[in-house]
Structure 1
Amino acid sequence: MISPRTEFFAGLKAIAPILLGVVPFATITGIAAVEAKLPAGLAIASSVIIFAGASQLAAMQLIRENGAFVVIVLTVLVINLRFTMYSISLAPYFKNLASWWKGLLAYMLTDQAYALSIIRYNERPQQPAKHWFFFGASVGLWVTWQLGTIVGVLVGAQVPASWSLDFAIPLTFIAVTVPAIKGRRELIVAAVSVAIAVAAAGLPYNLGLIVAALVGVLVGLVLEAA
């Protein structure tokens, strides 16, 4: 019998290589908060409360540009819509958990933890204590994200642009996507999603991301039924 402790550390170990790319991502978000004129305490608190990198970064950029409150809220909601799809995908594995567990895991849901966990769950559908793997991966990322954000808040704009820390953002997503491509169907879905995302990049409020995700899901369903 695999113990919760074993699963927790398996999740922590699985997320570890990805954390190298999360650090600069979090640091950029902290810097963006400072540039948006948020007090240090509020910037750090917002990272703890929101814990959603892409939407945090987008919100800070809009605040810095004096974007309308409604626009900021809509942008954050649209960017985070993908978590609805993640939740639906994970629901069968967590359906028997207590409500407090579900609430905690919902708060800690990220692209990286989801990708690692769903791959493992598909490979080991009968594995006990599944949620502990997800929790371990999430804890590792949460701690790294908060520390990276704090560093960004403290250093502010002192990091030179030549460091190109923003290059780490797509790398973190590539790192969790590539291992999931194990066959022709996954490759087709990934290729179509990327093509749609690039073509729809000009849509407002980051809608291109949602459109690409929905098209990818539809393509996957069609291929699975074929």
Structure 2
Amino acid sequence: MALGLGISALAPAQETVSAVTDPSFVPFEMMDKESGEMVGFDMDILREVAKRAGFDINLRTMDFNGIIPAVQTGNADLAIAGITITDEREKIVDFSDPYYDSGLRILVAASNDKVDELSDLEGMSIGTKIGSTSYDYLQKNLGDSAEIKPYPGSADMYLALMGGSVDAVFYDAPNVGYFAKTQGEGRAKVVGPLYEGQQYGIAFTSGSQWLEPTNKALAAMKKDGTYDEIYTKWFGEAPNQDNTAK
């Protein structure tokens, strides 16, 4: 199904670029039930990139596992869906410069001023998700010095934090950031740097003419503050990238 992004043409006869995304990666891309349009952080980034790079978008949705193959085979010109840049993927598609630093972050109650980094969680109880990289990271870096409580779902651990059953939550950065901006607004806050950093990029068919204009657009957005505005809209205050933990 084709979904227009509502990008107005800046000049006549602009080229239309075929794009694909995953419709269920909240809050990067998701269907707005009222408008029937795709919205989210990635969608705002793509709209702005397209406007600055000089192309229109014909957007389709598909399961995530079909996205890279679609770009690789030329069935789509680009894909944006919280796609982690990896060496294996770079062998078959071209990636833009990174536009999002993901990883793991700490969520605490809004009134908690004692936690600024992972080491501050020693002696505390920490909620995380069963089988997640965040659970493994906590076990490796805090071990027996904190009470690590795994929960079956993210909603469970957020409920535990809001109810005072745990002192903090440690989980995927976009997920905790979105919770802090929505259900947890005024009650929870994200603190500290990113841990276990990963980077997302826009995937293009190999040799795409739109790769360089996209990179220039992303650089300009970061320089003039547009990127920070979009980030704050969906996740809250942008992390201090100088303190990003890899």
Structure with the larger RCO, 1 or 2 (CA within 8 Å, 6+ apart) = 1
Q: TM-score, normalised by structure 2?
A: 0.23
Q: Which has the higher strand share?
A: 2
Q: TM-score, normalised by structure 1?
A: 0.25
Q: Which has the higher helix share?
A: 1
